[in-house]
Amino acid sequence: MSQQNTSILPELKLGKSTEYVDQYDAKQLQAVPRKLMRDSLPNKNQAFLGVDIWTGYEISWLSQSGKPVVYIGEFTFSANSANLVESKSFKLYLNSFNQSKFDSVEQVTALMQQDLSACSGAEVEVTLYPLGQFAKRRVTYLSGDCIDEIDIEISSYNYNPDLLKLDSHKSELVEETLVSHLLKSNCLVTGQPDWASIEICYQGQAFDKASVLQYLIGFRNHNEFHEHCVERIFRDLESRLKPQKLSVYARYTRRGGLDINPLRVSHMSLLKDKTAHRLVRQ
């Protein structure tokens, strides 16, 4: 990355000792330009289609009588927004509601939508669920062909898109979904590990599944934000294997009461509802 791209990182609260505020404060939110890493991707001038779906498990505030209430939140950001919200700042922002009084869940929802939209630069969908309602969302499993049991030998844990190749034994077009639970990357700022399950749906010439698994394992020592990892995977598959249609969807394990689930697609028709997923590691 260039110095210009990394110049914003020292300004972030991520990785620093931070005082937690418990009175509502929208200024806790910090924006990270999506352009930060996109300049290093293939087809860097091509817009992304998709969303980032966040789940917030630690949301609470006070009613006007002073009684605490708790909710679980779902936040959907457009991949076309100028900024992503830095995750620690998001947690600090949510914590700032803890000792503040509000009239209703509708008031809080509208306030969060206003603040997050302003920070990201595009409209954000916010839904706050009572715990009983969210509990109906059962733990699910990504459907598709799990490639984790393929017998391969790994000699490098470094990012290498040159590993990707098509299956030379198949000439016909296919439509299939590949799933792996072995994706691990590291936070760009702190180096802390980020764990995810990933679903790759495509239509076109058959991917060599072993090469895809080797490529994904190569992220094990790679430092990048969740959203940028998924965009890198999407662009590498798109540019090197040239599918007619492609979607890449990752569900990351939560950290600090938040999980981040980026979805990138080649066609808007692939942008189906993914909010019903909640995996066993989430």
Q: Catalytic residue positions? A: 187, 194
Q: Specify which residues 78 forms β-bridges with.
A: 51
Neighbours of 140 (CB within 10 A): 13
State the number of CA atoms in the 13 A half-sphere of 147 facing the CB. 24
Structure tokens at 137: 């969302």
146 Cβ contact partners less than 8 Å away, ≥ 6 residues apart: 179, 180, 181
Amino acid at 40: S
Distance, CA of 229 to CA of 222 (rounded, Å): 9
Which position has the token pair 């595009």?
A: 122
**Strands (E) located in the chain:** 31-33, 49-62, 68-78, 83-85, 125-129, 145-146, 173-186, 193-205, 245-252, 258-265
Amino acid at 114: Q
236 Cβ contact partners less than 8 Å away, ≥ 6 residues apart: 42, 161, 164, 215
